[in-house]
Structure 1
Amino acid sequence: MENLECTVGKDGLNFQCNLCDSDVVHSMAEILLRGLATASVDSTTGDIFKSPSSVAIGMKSELAEYLIQRSMTLVREAVDGGEDHSEQLIKASTMPTEFLSDLIDGFVASKRNLLSHVSGFLSSETRLNKIKDFIQKLEMENFWAPDVREATAGTILKSIDMKCIIHCPERFDTQDKLAEHRNLCRFRIVNCKNDGCLASFSANHIEKHDSVCPFKVLPCEQLCEQHVMRCEMDRHCASVCPMKLINCPFYQVGCESAFPQCVLDKHCSERLQIHLMYILELTTRHDAFVNDMNQRLHLLEKAQSLNELSGALDNRTLTLTAKEQEAKIKKLEQDLKVQETKLKKLESEFKSGKV
Structure 2
Amino acid sequence: MDKLTSTAEEEGYIFRCELCDTEVVQSMAELLLHGLATASVDSTTGDIFKSASSVAVGVKTDLEGYLFRRTEALIRESVDGPDDHSDQLLRASTRPVEFLSDLVDEFVASKRNLLSHVSGFLSSESRLNKIKDFSQKVEMENIWALDERKATAETILESMDLKCIYHCPERFSEQDKLVEHRSRCKFRVVNCKNDRCLASFSAIHVEEHDSICPFKVVPCEQLCEQHVMRCEMDKHCATVCPMKVINCPFHHVGCERAFPQGTHDRHCSELSQTHLLYVLQAITRQGAFVNDMNQRLQLLEKAQSLNELSGALDVRSLTLVIKEQEAKIKKLEGDIKTQEAKMKKLENEVRSRKA
Distance 1:10 1:80 in 2: 23
Distance 1:6 1:80 in 2: 17
Distance 1:191 1:310 in 2: 89
Instruction: State the secondary structure of the residue aligned to 1:212.
Output: coil
Cα displacement (A) at 1:271? 1.6
Which residues in structure 2 correspond to 1:197-276 (within 5 Å)? 197-276=197-276
* TM-superposition CA deviations, 1:288-316 (whole Å, max 9, x none): 1222233333333333245247637x99x
Which residues in structure 2 correspond to 1:22-37 (within 5 Å)? 22-37=22-37
Cα displacement (A) at 1:206? 0.5
Distance 1:226 1:178 in 2: 45
Distance 1:265 1:183 in 2: 56
* TM-superposition CA deviations, 1:44-64 (whole Å, max 9, x none): 111111111111111111111
Give the root-mean-square deviation of aligned CA atoms: 2.2
* Contact 1:7–1:15 (Cα < 8 Å) also in 2: no
Which residues in structure 2 correspond to 1:1-40 (within 5 Å)? 8-9=8-9, 12-40=12-40
Cα displacement (A) at 1:14? 3.5
* Contact 1:6–1:15 (Cα < 8 Å) also in 2: no
Q: Which residue of 1 aligns with 2:86?
A: 86
* Contact 2:93–2:161 (Cα < 8 Å) also in 1: yes
Distance 1:297 1:88 in 2: 89
**Are residues 1:134 and 2:134 paired?**
yes
Distance 2:228 2:98 in 1: 38
Q: Which residue of 1 aligns with 2:169?
A: 169
Letter in 1 for 2:103: L
* TM-superposition CA deviations, 1:208-233 (whole Å, max 9, x none): 11011111111222233322111122
* Contact 2:8–2:171 (Cα < 8 Å) also in 1: no
Distance 1:305 1:121 in 2: 78
> TM-score, length-normalised on structure 1?
0.81
Structure 1 residues 311 and 48: CA distance shift in structure 2, 3 A = closer
Structure 1 residues 294 and 50: CA distance shift in structure 2, 3 A = same
Distance 1:8 1:311 in 2: 116
Q: Which residue of 1 aligns with 2:187?
A: 187
Q: What percent identity do the matched residue pairs reach?
A: 72
Instruction: State the secondary structure of the residue aligned to 1:47.
Output: coil
Cα displacement (A) at 1:111? 1.3
Letter in 1 for 2:196: G
Cα displacement (A) at 1:42? 1.0
Distance 2:299 2:149 in 1: 89
Distance 1:83 1:108 in 2: 28
> TM-score, length-normalised on structure 2?
0.81
Which one has a bigger Cα radius of gyration? 1
Cα displacement (A) at 1:129? 1.0
Distance 2:91 2:120 in 1: 30
Distance 1:8 1:246 in 2: 69
Structure 1 residues 51 and 83: CA distance shift in structure 2, 3 A = farther
Letter in 2 for 1:191: N
Q: Which residue of 2 aligns with 1:346?
A: none
Distance 1:225 1:101 in 2: 48
